[in-house]
Structure 1
């Protein structure tokens, strides 16, 4: 019985010794702990104000919203991470810091393998955000869709089509595929296809067509209206006329094509030039002959 009491007393004494050592350690390290907390808080505030200043600086340089957002987030995380590591070093926890970095590497590898698709979209979003050929407000055509770029974030791109519907396309789809940007060049070439009758004076048709286009579409230096016959069609001789116009979105092409067709048709009407259309001829001669033969045979039999 005495031995059991002695063991319990010894255990309690050991516990008190441990607690006493911990209290002493806490008291001794309390200044370092307070300093570490203050250092970390200071870096959080520094990160906040630095990111605000950086955002204003990028805004003055007309950086798009997605680029500013990504840049400020990265700088914010870097500054806070530096403050965290300095706080750990103040607490003399260098070994813990090494352990954290090792664990972070292993966890990062596991997360990277599990989220390959998501990370691919994220890195693609970073690349697209800094890509000068793709900006907010541009009219692009990609992956079978065409519209105005409304947003470029770390996951996807939001495009507003001409029918006012929004299309969300993952960043990796655009980074891995090609896209056409109508807004990067102020002028583009418009092509209009048409045909005239075989009886037409082809040289006259060429001159009238070029003059009709030149009246409404001014060609700048180095630009010209191009006219070329392409083929002998079933009912017409087909041609294409190409000219330059101001184009920054797909709607501009539609409107310029509309104006060109109106001008060409008006000019052809004034010069009595025929734009033929397919004609289908139905011949009922044989059927009529058979019908008359049947009627004659029937009367003879009577």
Structure 2
């Protein structure tokens, strides 16, 4: 520790010597020595310092060409500049700079006050020009706002109101920049424009990274408003959510679920997700499975299922209903049935439920057995009495098939129409923005 302090002390004590030897004049030293020349050197240096600010407290003495400078300056940089200044005077042999930085508070504050007063005088002198530049900026800005408020030509050029509003925002931004350029040109300060634009670019880049999700959602809103993959009141499935489309806003797509709840999906998610639009075609298919016993007449069961679906009043003949054997299990054979409906008038869920009910009744009436789980018990034999033995079932051909026609219940789309009415009522609320239009092209 003592060695460190000793080293620091030696370095500090060597600073004056370094300041005296640094920036010393070079060249040949003359043999003659003249007091008149020393006085001329001192007078020349004093005259120069008198014309410069900040050296009022510096004294100059010259002896045998050696210049000694004493006093104080406002900063160490000004004190160090004296070596270069004195070294340029002819006849100077060496420079002994003993000028220090002043600690006088009043003296250090005076230059700051003078600079402040000078700036205030400059501002007062520039006020008329600043007023003209501000007036020019406001005029250009007013023209831009007036042009952006006009409905035409933006509504005619844009495919929807959202894009038209983006055009207006671009016009406003362009006129703001134009107003700044005009104002800076009047002030002859156009060089500031590059600095402003550079700073704006850096700030915009930082903000872009910070709000990346918001920017992505905004771009997705633009693309969806142009492409419009669905219409108002369309039945869709988006990222696992199903319902009727209410509206498309600049931030989210709003659905009315089958339970009557509002579902808000961010447009970025909508744009990247798989969209199933059930309303693009009027025809829609329902599907269900029925299990039959493995020992049943499968060909007859398939034909009965087809005829039953074809006879339903709500199924379409084109595409035609169909049925087939889809799989086999431990104690059952899976019979798959499909049918098509016009979803504008028929409820999908009601039609599917009625088709299941009537198809099962038809298969039962035809003697097609439903599957029964079969279990094999191992272990001790169990003796059964004659009374416990169940009677043999009658052959299928001799079973009576009651000619009972099962009427279909009402399967009209009452619930769907009720949801459509709710959607239309909410869409009549003009206070909420909507980017969907019935006449816009869809992809």
1:70-101 Cα offsets, whole Å, 9 max, x none, are: 31321121111122233234324444443332
Aligned to 1:81: 173
Equivalent residue in structure 1 for 2:366, among 260, 268, 272: 272
Gaps of 5+ in 1: 290-302
The 1-side partners of 2:179 and 2:193 are apart by 10
Contact 2:331 2:374 in 1 (8 A): no
Contact 2:316 2:342 in 1 (8 A): no
Contact 1:140 1:181 in 2 (8 A): yes
Which has more radius of gyration?
A: 2
- What SS does structure 2 have at the residue aligned with 1:149? strand
Equivalent residue in structure 2 for 1:72, among 152, 155, 164: 164
Aligned residue runs from structure 1 range 108-187, under 5 A: 108-187=204-283
Contact 1:139 1:146 in 2 (8 A): yes
CA displacement at 1:111 relative to structure 2:
0.7
Aligned to 1:214: 310
Aligned to 2:75: none
Contact 2:294 2:371 in 1 (8 A): no
Computed over aligned residues only, the root mean square deviation of the Cα atoms, in angstroms, reads 3.8
Contact 2:217 2:251 in 1 (8 A): yes
Larger helix proportion of the pair: 1
Aligned to 1:100: 196
1:231-285 Cα offsets, whole Å, 9 max, x none, are: 333443321122332347xx9432231132133134335x433351434669799
- What SS does structure 1 have at the residue aligned with 2:213? helix
User: Which deviates further from its counterpart, 147-156 or 10-19?
Assistant: 10-19
Equivalent residue in structure 2 for 1:263, among 358, 371, 395: 358
Runs of 4+ in 1 over 6 A off after TM superposition: 10-13, 280-285
- What SS does structure 1 have at the residue aligned with 2:276? strand
User: TM-score, normalization: structure 2?
Assistant: 0.51
- What SS does structure 2 have at the residue aligned with 1:273? coil
The 2-side partners of 1:170 and 1:286 are apart by 66
Q: Does 1:18 align with 2:117?
A: no
Q: How many residues align?
A: 269
Aligned to 2:147: 46
CA displacement at 1:35 relative to structure 2:
4.2
Contact 2:184 2:193 in 1 (8 A): no
Q: Against the structure 1 CA distance between its residues 22 and 283, is the aligned structure 2 distance closer, same or farther, given a 3 Å change threshold?
A: same
User: TM-score, normalization: structure 1?
Assistant: 0.71
User: Which deviates further from its counterpart, 78-87 or 14-23?
Assistant: 14-23
The 2-side partners of 1:71 and 1:236 are apart by 59
